[in-house]
Amino acid sequence: MEIIDSPRAMTAWSDRTRAAGRTICLVPTMGFLHDGHLALMRRAREMAGKVVVSLFVNPMQFGPAEDLARYPRAFERDAELVGAEGVAVLFAPTAEEMYPAGFQTRVVVSGLTDTLCGLSRPGHFDGVTTVVAKLFHLVKPHLAVFGQKDFQQLAIIKKMVIDLNWDVGIIAHPIVRERDGLAMSSRNSYLEPAERRKALCLYNSLQLGRKMVAGGERDGHRVREEVQQYIVSCGDVDIDYVAVVDAETLADCRTINDRSLLALAVKIGRTRLIDNTLLAG
């Protein structure tokens, strides 16, 4: 595996690889890798001859009061994990390389960013779309794999690719969970043991929503209210949002159908966690 930290060198590698007729698949990450990330890499290897994993803690997507400074980092460990997955390149640029002095450009996707996490994290998705746009230009992938845990992010990136006519196939990978159901996340490392147990309220509440729909419930607001009441009953959990939305438009879904998504964001201690599930099927 080759480790590249220069944007110019990354593009040169991609140009050579494309000229040789090889397919490139990108897996963007912020590091502190877990089995969920490794599953994305394995999926990428199934689809492309060359896999590039980017490792970049993107300062543009963190708000002033968020966890940029304490976001977990373990570069040597991450490099070993990536290398063991048969990845061709680990692209690990610095913030100074990605956002040099005088940088003033942002890529903004309107509409889809105005709800769910976009409400409580203003500017977050502008940072996401800007850095993903830069990665697409530098790595020049034919394909890119994103996890469905960040469902809103996935929807926004798909929309950006369509609107800007990029020839990049976006592959959605199902949520990878711990044995007890908790969605894998780098931020899970923040949780104290008691908080880790409390975090299961996310998975359990998703299962409650699915059980209601399987039993015939079709009122989206009733599902949302029952799920919210369950989370409140768990105690010591701050709810950011509980929403039932259309999986494509992210608009409020009053009547459950096969595109209805239950999405959650809660704060346990100092840790903000998200999760989601399709309610039907």
Active-site positions read 37
Assess contact for 248 and 280: CB atoms under 8 A: no
Residue in 67, 68, 41 with CA at minimum distance from that of residue 54: 41
The total of other beta-carbon atoms located within 10 Å of residue 2's CB is: 13
Q: DSSP letters of the chain?
A: -EEE--HHHHHHHHHHHHHTT--EEEEEE-SS--HHHHHHHHHHHHH-SEEEEEE---GGGS-TTSSTTTS---HHHHHHHHHHTT-SEEE---HHHHS-TT--------SGGGSTHHHHSTTHHHHHHHHHHHHHHHH--SEEEEEGGGHHHHHHHHHHHHHTT---EEEEEPPPB-TTSPBP-GGGGG--HHHHHHTHHHHHHHHHHHHHHHTT--BHHHHHHHHHHHHHHH-S-EEEEEEEEETTT--B-SB--TTEEEEEEEEETTEEEEEEEES--
- Residue 44 and residue 143 in contact, taking contact as beta carbons nearer than 8 Å: yes
